Structure 1
Amino acid sequence: MRRAVGLAALTVLLAACTSTPPAPAPPPRPPDLGKFTQQKLAWTPCGDALDCAHLTVPLDYAKPDGKTVTVGLLRHKAAKQRIGSLVVNPGGPGGWGTATAASLAKTPAAAPLLDRFDLVGFDPRGVGTSEPRITCRTDAEQDADRASDIESDLSPDGVKKQLAETTAYGAKCAEATKYGKEFLANVGTRDVVRDLDVLRAALGDEKLTYLGYSYGTQIGAAYAEAYPRNVRALLLDGAIDPAQGLVDSLVTQAAGFQDALNEFGKWCACATAGDTEAFQRLVRPLIAKPLPAGTRKLSFEDAITGTFGGLYSRGDWPALKAALAQVAQGNGRTLLAFADDYYQRDRDGKYSGAIDAYFAVRCVDHTRVTDRAAIDRAHERMLAGAPFLAGGTPDTSELDICSTWPVPPTSAEHAPRPAGLPKPLVVSTTHDPATPYRQGVDLAKDLGGVLLTHEGVQHTVFLQGDTCVDRAGIAYLIDGTASETRC
């Protein structure tokens, strides 16, 4: 954008033509993070040959002498011939890297990596075992929100109610989370990446070896851009394209789930979900009349979310088929269990906090969309690409929540262009419902990386039983070898 040159600016320009220009001001010195990068991690045993610790980091990196927060860590030490640390994040936003590391430590496919690396999982700031945790709704309020049909009411009054509810939600997050708006303003990927580099240094690793799944790929890509010369290896599976804005990311994800549902329908060949029309005939009545599901009820929104959950992995398809058949028989219990798993609600009705962290991070990671007409057009695009959502969509609330979020964004979508970065390995699955295949293709290109294409229908695949993918990924992480591969 061009600026008009005012009289004062013109005077300065004329003076510059007749006198020696002043020396440029030196760039601001980066804050001294030595007390964080040189900290000694106090590892303590936490079961099954695992150790746990907390990393202390600044709440606000612009104020390193101010308040501090902690990042939860879990480690499985290398068995032999240690190369260094392999830091892992499962995605979300809101996923617990500590739980993922504990799970991978028991995974047979990961054995070659467990020999050579200290496997380290971290919970991003505000998540899981990190302190403080992002907190918005109570467990009872989460249940009530899921049971509500407000997202399906697109009338003017319904939209007003949605906006009032989403505005109140953001206010609750600021009120219930320790340090309030100050913390919410510093929970985005920008700050998680800074924490990750402090972690690298505190672990004693000169260079970072990193495994990121789903949103974890966004963390990895942002780290690559911020600290390209601190990278040893990045394996990014289920890639998010950081150049996509909030609307485009939701539209392409909705289309990805439609694609996965189409593939499921071909496999299932069943009356309940053989095609989009059959699926809609099954779930649309839930808008007006939720279905009994034990002591609770299955709402339309939970039926959609439960179906999302069942489409993440082809291994869940038999159970999803049975769940949809139960809905046809008037029983919503199993499909509600899929939705509970998606929202990380346990059998005692306790939520992990992942859904609150998801919104808090997404809302500061993207350019804000405030125009109601633009949000309505986004909704129309989502339904055009994913007609199985007709009647409402849980993702519409994300646009509304972020439009009134109590703190401004700290990042903006863009294609990363890191210089001097070792080639990452990007794994992308042809029918990935949550992060469609094209996003991995684009991310590999932007990072100058190597693309591994997995032919299948699932979200993320490395160390999940595909020998071809596992062999290629393990070789890359151990000795850096990688080539374009199709599995």
Structure 2
Amino acid sequence: MVFRVRSTLVALGAASLVLIGACAAPAPFETRSGPPGSAPAGELAEFYDQQVAFERCAPYATTALDEKLFADDRYDCARVQVPVDYADPDGPRGEVALLRVKARGEKIGSLLVNPGGPGGSGMNFVALLGPLWAAGPVGERFDVIGFDPRGVGASTPRVDCYTDAEYERGEGFSGALVPDVADEQEARMVAQRCAEGSGGPQALASFGTSNVVRDMDVLRATLGDEKLSYLGISYGTQLGAVYAEAFPQNVRAMALDSAIDPDLTATEFNFAQMTGFQKAFERYAADCATSADCPLGTDPVRATEAFQAIARPLLEHPAPTADGRGLTYDDVMNAVTSALYAQSLWPKLTEGLAELAAGRGDVLQAQRDSAFGRGPDGRYNNSGDAAYAIRCMDLPRRTPAEQTELARQIRAAAPFTDSGRPVRESHHECEAWPQPPTLPQPWVTGPVGLPPTLTISITGDPATPYEGGINLARVLGGSLLTVEGAQHGIALLGQSECVDGLVADYLIDLQTPPDDARCTA
């Protein structure tokens, strides 16, 4: 049975209750016996001792874009076995898929890379940046490893809650616009269909940060590295920090870009994030207003009102698009919020809003499709489904009253997202998940006895506000690199020689920048 999940700008979280099945709760992080970096004794040794067999990447592709990227002979790929449940290492097994760009010169080791999400494919991300690894110093000294966390992309078991056809119809999870669920019955249906499509309740309960960091330590060992070198962006900073607290003796270098704030609860972070998007919308509107043909007008104070006048009619009548799908209100909100991630996307956002004001939605539909991971063939990657499955096992769950109140608070914090319709009481899509969340709260407390780390934080980042980088650097006892700019993510992306140079110096030579280091995006 298919149902439509109503979308509002409610932030990631969950309500309470359970059950569609049961599995053992994850065990505490494995206690080490032996020198730092050694494999654990006992039942996990066979995972740590396995041999990695790299091969051509073409069979690993799950999207049309991957099919093109993974045909490149510069890359090779592999799968590493991990237990689905670390408390039951003799039970079902999963496989974490890897893509490798081999070091061009004298190799230090492997650099494990996660692009965020949660739900982002590290394999796709590393392959997309292939030309940068081929030219830069990091690609010379490291095997760059993009991995798909459990549940994501080419890894198995893989999260699968909704079909491509359902996403085309606006059903299922809605990306940047977090869904709410009408009642307990719908919550049970969400959990049931995710379990059925993803390998059962035990697999569904395994898709969480606590298990991903265990997988990362298995990857470190199987790749032959005594210590982990790591680059994490956005959610990837949380992965890195949780790994550091679990396995501090196994950390060599950790570059964390656009940090999730460890000082905030999940609800507080959601609120801060939406406040950041409102600020980004206002910066965009002020920039747009300098042009006489700005679709939001030349008075930035009235930009929110002008945007609502353009977007709200789509609640009743989607805008026509060339492919016949039509552009809905939810589509517009996803397109706009994703375009606010970087100032470089503002011109295309202006073009799309102007087109929408004139009665068509093709430009914004293309932006929405990019945000959703939709390919030209109509296939979607599974980042949307995976994001919710992972966060359902990470975040504290909210009661319907708490979820509804958060919706009201976020609408007040980010009025450009206000649909004009009343906020209805809602349940959370994680309410009936098969197990409670497994990520500790707070998820990192420090100090954790780490070698120097490097956190990179951008002053105008809408998705992970700048203060989060300050706080993560403090908790980890590491260095902070401040970047003046208005975007989300910058390290080793070829956009700032200053940033890329300092990050390369750190990863290669373990040289951290001075305390007051600043770069410009």
TM-score in terms of structure 2 length: 0.82
Match of 2:43 among 32, 36, 43: 32
Give the AA of the match of 1:478: I
**Which residue pairs with 1:422 in the alignment?**
451
CA distance in structure 2 between the partners assigned to 1:463 and 1:302 by the alignment = 31
Say which of 45, 52, 55 aligns to 2:80.
55
**Aligned counterparts, 1:256-275, within 5 A:** 256-269=276-289, 270-272=294-296, 274=300, 275=303
SS at match of 1:91: coil
Match of 1:215 in 2: 235
1:431-457 deviation line (CA, Å, top 9, x unaligned): 111111111111111111111111111
**Identical amino acids, percent of aligned pairs:** 45
The answer to whether structure 1 residue 412 and structure 2 residue 440 are counterparts is yes
Equivalent position of 1:436 in the other structure:
465
Greater radius of gyration (CA): 1
Counterpart in the other structure of 1:311: 340
Look up the equivalent residue of 2:170 and give its one-letter code.
D
Q: Of 22, 38, 41, which residue of structure 1 is paired with 2:52?
A: 41
> Structure 2 residue aligned with 1:184, among 198, 204, 217?
204
Shift of residue 148, structure 1, vs aligned partner: 11
Structure 1 pair 134/110, CA: closer, same or farther in 2 (3 Å)?
farther
Could you tell me how far 1:418 is from its partner in structure 2?
Answer: 4.2
Q: Return the alpha-carbon distance in structure 2 between the equivalents of residues 198 and 390 of structure 1.
A: 45
What amino acid sits opposite 1:402 in the alignment?
C
Corresponding residue SS for 1:87: strand
Which segments of 5 or more consecutive residues in structure 1 lack a partner in the other structure? 1-26
Given residue 356 of structure 2, which amino acid in structure 1 is its aligned partner? V
Measure the CA separation in 2 of the matches of 1:69 and 1:243.
Answer: 33
The 3-state SS of whatever aligns with 2:308 is helix
Q: Distance in 2 between matches of 1:60 and 1:74?
A: 24
Whether 1:251 and 2:271 are equivalent positions in the alignment is yes
The aligned amino acid for 1:469 is V
- The 8 Å contact of residues 162 and 172 in structure 2, kept in 1 or not, is answered as no
How far 1:144 sits from its partner (Å)? 2.2
Q: Distance in 2 between matches of 1:191 and 1:421?
A: 21
1:451 is the counterpart of 2:480: yes
In 2, distance between residues paired with 1:131 and 1:246?
Answer: 28
Give the stretch that moved more between structures: 241-250 or 262-271: 241-250
Q: How does 1:358-369 map to 2 (within 5 A)?
A: 358-369=387-398
- State which of 306, 312, 327 in structure 2 corresponds to 1:298: 327
The alpha-carbon distance between structure 1 residues 163 and 308, as it changes in their structure 2 partners (threshold 3 A), is farther
SS in 2 for 1:85: strand
**Cα distance, 1:52–1:39 mapped onto 2, change above 3 Å:** same
Looking at structure 1, the residues matched to 108 and 255 of structure 2 have their Cα atoms a distance apart, in angstroms, of 16
Secondary structure class of the residue paired with 2:96? strand
Instruction: Report the Cα distance in structure 2 between the residues aligned to 1:397 and 1:112, rounded to whole angstroms.
Output: 53
- Selected match of 1:474 from 504, 510, 514: 504
Tell me the CA shift for residue 404 of structure 1. 3.3
Question: Is residue 292–residue 332 contact of structure 1 (8 Å, CA) maintained in 2?
Answer: yes
Whether the 8 Å CA contact 2:115–2:233 is kept in 1: the answer is: yes
Do the aligned residues in 2 keep the contact of 1:221 with 1:416 (CA within 8 Å)? no
- Identify the residue that residue 8 of structure 2 maps to in structure 1: none
Residues 350 and 261 of structure 1: CA distance in aligned 2, closer, same or farther (over 3 Å): same
Tell me which residue corresponds to 1:174.
Answer: 195
The aligned amino acid for 1:226 is A
- Please tell me whether the aligned partners of residues 454 and 486 of structure 1 are also in contact (alpha carbons under 8 angstroms): yes
| Equivalent residue, structure 2, for 1:333 | 362
Judge conservation of contact 1:57–1:195 (CA < 8 Å) in 2.
yes
Which deviates more, 271-280 or 372-381?
Answer: 271-280
- How far the C-alpha of 1:110 sits from its partner, in A, is 5.8
TM-superposed CA distance for 1:143, in Å, is: 2.1
Q: Is the 8 A contact 1:235 1:426 kept in 2?
A: yes
Contact kept? 1:220, 1:234, Cα under 8 Å = yes
Shift, 1:246, TM fit: 2.9
| Distance in 2 separating the partners of 1:350 and 1:267 | 35
Distance 1:282 1:456 in 2: 28
Aligned length: 452
Give yes or no for the alignment of 1:118 onto 2:143: yes
Instruction: Report the counterpart of residue 286 of structure 1 in structure 2.
Output: 314
Deviation readout 1:127-182 (Å, 9 max, x if unpaired):
11101211101111122235999x99x9xxxx87366444422221011111x110
- The 3-state SS of whatever aligns with 1:431 is coil
Tell me the alpha carbon deviations over residues 197-234 of structure 1, each in whole angstroms, 9 at most, x when there is no partner.
00000011000000001111111010001001100000
User: Counterparts of 1:280 and 1:110 in 2: how far apart (Å)?
Assistant: 45
Counterpart selection for 1:391 from 394, 400, 419: 419
Going from structure 1 to structure 2, the CA distance change for 1:163 and 1:272 (only over 3 Å counts) comes to: farther
The answer (yes or no) to whether the contact 1:110–1:463 under 8 Å persists in 2 is: no
